[in-house]
Structure 1
Amino acid sequence: MSAMIDDLLDPAALPDETGSVTLVQTHISLVFIADAFVYKVKKPVDFGFLDFTSLGKRAHACRQEVLLNRRLALEIYEGVVPVVFDGFRHRVGAERGEVVDYAVKMRRIPEERLMKAVFRRGELNERHLEDIARVLSNFHRSARRSPEIDTFGRAEAFRVNTDENFAQVEKYCGISIDRPLFEALRQWTDVFYRAQAALFEERIAAGKIRDCHGDLHMEHICLTEGIPIFDCIEFNDRFRYSDTLADVAFLMMDLDYHGGGSFSEIFWDAYRRFAEEGDRHDLLTFYKVYRAFVRGKVISFQLDDPNIRNEAKEKAAQTARAYFELAGGYI
């Protein structure tokens, strides 16, 4: 893996001319950023809820990523290209050599127009939030629905996700989350399922369980023409097959995390109007807790990654702790 990383940081290893290449790592991806395009390679990891350990599985995940993300960002996703090793060096899209991996090729978006960047500059406004709410409500209204997808809206089905979260996070108690907070969140979640089970059935009956985005935070929304929204969950259907409120709760949580609680409320008011939603405070809170906990979990995974330096791991632990504390604040 380290040899491939070193090779692909050479501009000559990429198929499109570029003056520089930089690398951004997540817990599941290597993202090589060139001047005009981005090449995203899956790490050969297995977290239980995703498995990229074989070349075939990574190829499938790349194809799914392109297919699913074209729903909301058609112009960004170019396709899937091979990573080839010729016996000496790794190259993207080379015609000769052994295919050792695959990359999703994307057009590079203007980073200064990402919702998070606009928010940080103090330029996010009500019109932006209304435009995002309109795009999402239209997407959710037309997103795929089926009897199979409906089953993922049941309380016992969604509990698979939360039970998995607690099981995977427990080892980080004392590192990125305090044990009392961990237990409080687990108990609160258990009580919610028992007390509010009817809410889940009501949402199924209302047709609100859809093939959603699944990873809807500010870094995945670009405030350019058409509001492209990218980087949805491709590796596990059960993280996309969900209540539409679980999608919007992610964005609301992200705004809350960054100190934009008032923007979160403005967005919700607009989305509720466009989507003809009623007052769903209890369920929104549940999904915001879930989303904050998931962010804390996936950032904590970086603590186990041998390719990430210690300084970055320390920062990851602090960030994960802040997300877990936000989840605690909601309850």
Structure 2
Amino acid sequence: MSTQPTPDDQGDVLAFLDQLARQAAADDTPHRIDTHANVIFLVGDLAYKLKRAVWFPFLDYSTLEKRRHACQQEIACNKANAPQIYRRVVALVREDNGGLAFGPEDTPPAAAVDWLVEMNRFDGNRQLDRIASEAPLPAPLCDQLAAMMLDAHDASPVKLDAGPAFFAELASYVEQNADAFQAFPDQFPPKQARELTEEARSVLRALEPLILQRAQNGNIRFCHGDAHTRNIILLDDQPVLFDAIEFSEAIATTDRLYDLAFLLMDLWEQDQKPAANLIFNRYLDRKTLAEHGAKPGEDEDSLAALPFYLMMRACIRAKIAAASADNQESDQARDALRRDATTYFNQAREFLGLAASREQTNTRLVGVGGLSGSGKSTLARQIACDIGRAPGARILRTDVERKALLKLAETEKAPPSAYAEDAARTVYARLQGRIHRSLQAGHSVIFDAVFAHETQRREIEILATEAGGAFLGLWLDAPSEVLTARVTQRRDDASDADAKVVSLQLSQDIGDMTWHRIDASGSAQDSLQHARELL
């Protein structure tokens, strides 16, 4: 049985760095950032991160050599995603007079008093959590965030044989969470904590075959591991992922969906639900396009694991906030972290349906139809976060699937043959398969398509029933001049529709319309209000 080590004393190191940072700071300017495992000192244009001499079940910085290795790993793990930030590892050495100083680059390990990560300092106000606290995240930034996460995952080493180990790690996290909840009974009500732990164990057992299959499909990778909003910074208006997990290869070897779930969970908790949903959908859209639609159903099956992954991420934030509160110098910071711990704990319970409303847990298929230019895609994005469990409905578009099958970029124009009847049937059939698997995984879907044929509308109503989900059909109406004006003005979208397409659609008989009609001739907000009344 392993015992907790006795950590090194870092009192003089902290005092030296604190004085250095104070001297470089203006009056009343924050000069250090404390977390449960690190202290960051802000010195001019640079920042120095000191690994605390601490031990946790998931992290051990208790010895000098372990901290040196962790600093080296931090540089190695972050250079790919954030070369603008990470500089080098620096030693602290003892001078002849007994004081401390920065050592030369070739400082031997035996001569070091402690080790630091040297970074370029950045404006903390550009961190994503700060930006998200001020206003709704704009759609272009959400698309950039989705691309950032997908690029990071695609570049991450695949761990094909890591399925059993990753599953075992998840099981150990559940037990570590249970221990952490028990250690803070005033923070986490014991009865609710036991209920959450028991449900987490049960859900994880049911997910084992899916998780192992995802590993065999190449989805378990050596990822960032800690991709929440505080670890994303906007530099030159581009999101940059930093502060990857360096202290444990086991923790960073994870399902790419579990890695993404941290960002989604954080935004969901910060009341940025539309942003979380848009990033979720754009990530999967981009993945479909990058794979040219070659893996239909894989991502839809994986949605069964998403509530568990979101719950686990919320638990991590809850227990770290509770532990970090005791390291804060001010009562205000301590109280804020304790509030965070409670919020994330309650969020974790909601993700598993332990404190969710019926509307949140019901699985639903919503068909959004209408001629080109009627505002289908806009409405779908607006209502998606209100439908089903977090992070809201998966939006499936014929336009995106068509481009993926043709191996085209999303905004690249498809040839006329792509819109022939046979080609259209293929696209609809593939999306119906994706929808069926999503609904069976317990995840709600919005199907965004023209649905100009009565048979197409009837087919997806039947599909919802067969998959055990509720169905709602929305049909958007607008005058011809409005439709034509909108498609003419549209830019950077997957749809290829133009004025000629609209004219052709208007000449066709849409048959008996049994779906709810929405007047889409006015503003998008008017259509949204009507749709929400129906939902």
Both structures adopt the same fold (TM-score exceeding 0.5)? yes
Q: Given residue 234 of structure 2, which amino acid in structure 1 is its aligned partner?
A: L
Residue of structure 1 in register with 2:69 after alignment? 60
Paired residues of 2:38 and 2:50 also in contact (CA < 8 A): yes
- Does structure 1 residue 319 correspond to structure 2 residue 340? yes
SS state of the match for residue 227, structure 1? strand
SS state of the match for residue 124, structure 1? coil
Residue of structure 2 in register with 1:74 after alignment? 83
Structure-1 separation of matches of 2:345 and 2:76: 32
Paired residues of 1:13 and 1:91 also in contact (CA < 8 A): no
Paired residues of 1:8 and 1:90 also in contact (CA < 8 A): no
Structure-2 separation of matches of 1:102 and 1:206: 39
Structure-1 separation of matches of 2:191 and 2:121: 43
Residue of structure 2 in register with 1:129 after alignment? 142
- Does structure 1 residue 231 correspond to structure 2 residue 240? no
Residue of structure 2 in register with 1:251 after alignment? 263
Q: Given residue 190 of structure 2, which amino acid in structure 1 is its aligned partner?
A: R
Match of residue 178, structure 2, among 166, 183, 189: 166
Residue of structure 1 in register with 2:165 after alignment? 152
Paired residues of 2:159 and 2:218 also in contact (CA < 8 A): no
Residue of structure 1 in register with 2:41 after alignment? 32
Residue of structure 1 in register with 2:92 after alignment? 83
SS state of the match for residue 240, structure 2? coil
Distance 1:89 1:309, change over 3 A: farther
Which structure: larger Rg? 2
Segments of structure 2 that go 5 or more residues without pairing to the other structure are 1-9, 289-297, 353-535
Structure-2 separation of matches of 1:159 and 1:209: 16
- Does structure 1 residue 285 correspond to structure 2 residue 294? no
Q: More deviation in 86-95 or 258-267? A: 86-95
Paired residues of 1:222 and 1:228 also in contact (CA < 8 A): yes
- Does structure 1 residue 117 correspond to structure 2 residue 120? no
Q: Given residue 148 of structure 2, which amino acid in structure 1 is its aligned partner?
A: V
Residue of structure 2 in register with 1:99 after alignment? 112
Structure-1 separation of matches of 2:21 and 2:258: 42
Q: Given residue 319 of structure 1, which amino acid in structure 2 is its aligned partner?
A: D
Paired residues of 1:37 and 1:106 also in contact (CA < 8 A): yes
Segments of structure 1 that go 5 or more residues without pairing to the other structure are none
Structure-2 separation of matches of 1:194 and 1:133: 30
- What root-mean-square deviation, in Å, do the aligned CA atoms of Structure 1 and Structure 2 show? 2.4
Distance 1:241 1:49, change over 3 A: same
Structure-1 separation of matches of 2:16 and 2:201: 48
Structure 1, residues 254-279: CA drift from partner, whole Å, max 9, x if none? 00111111110011000111123623
- Does structure 1 residue 273 correspond to structure 2 residue 285? yes
Percent identity of paired positions between Structure 1 and Structure 2: 26
Map 1:198-213 → 2, pairs under 5 A: 198-213=209-224
Paired residues of 1:128 and 1:223 also in contact (CA < 8 A): no
Residue of structure 2 in register with 1:48 after alignment? 57
- Does structure 1 residue 294 correspond to structure 2 residue 305? no
Structure-1 separation of matches of 2:341 and 2:184: 10
Tell me how far 1:291 sits from its aligned partner: 0.3
Structure-2 separation of matches of 1:316 and 1:12: 24
Distance 1:255 1:70, change over 3 A: same
Residue of structure 2 in register with 1:215 after alignment? 226
SS state of the match for residue 80, structure 2? coil
Distance 1:12 1:230, change over 3 A: closer
SS state of the match for residue 140, structure 2? helix
Paired residues of 2:187 and 2:342 also in contact (CA < 8 A): yes
Structure-2 separation of matches of 1:193 and 1:45: 30
Relative to the length of structure 2, the TM-score reads 0.57
Paired residues of 2:21 and 2:31 also in contact (CA < 8 A): no
Paired residues of 2:161 and 2:215 also in contact (CA < 8 A): no
Tell me how far 1:98 sits from its aligned partner: 5.2
Q: Given residue 318 of structure 2, which amino acid in structure 1 is its aligned partner?
A: G
Q: Given residue 89 of structure 1, which amino acid in structure 2 is its aligned partner?
A: G
Structure-2 separation of matches of 1:101 and 1:296: 30
Tell me how far 1:304 sits from its aligned partner: 4.8
Structure 1, residues 12-68: CA drift from partner, whole Å, max 9, x if none? 899xxx455711110000100122111000000011211111100000000000100
Structure 1, residues 54-109: CA drift from partner, whole Å, max 9, x if none? 10000000000010011210121001001223354333347999521111001112
Residue of structure 1 in register with 2:433 after alignment? none
Q: More deviation in 4-13 or 90-99? A: 90-99
Q: Given residue 314 of structure 1, which amino acid in structure 2 is its aligned partner?
A: D
Structure with the bigger RCO (C-alpha within 8 Å, sep 6+) is 1
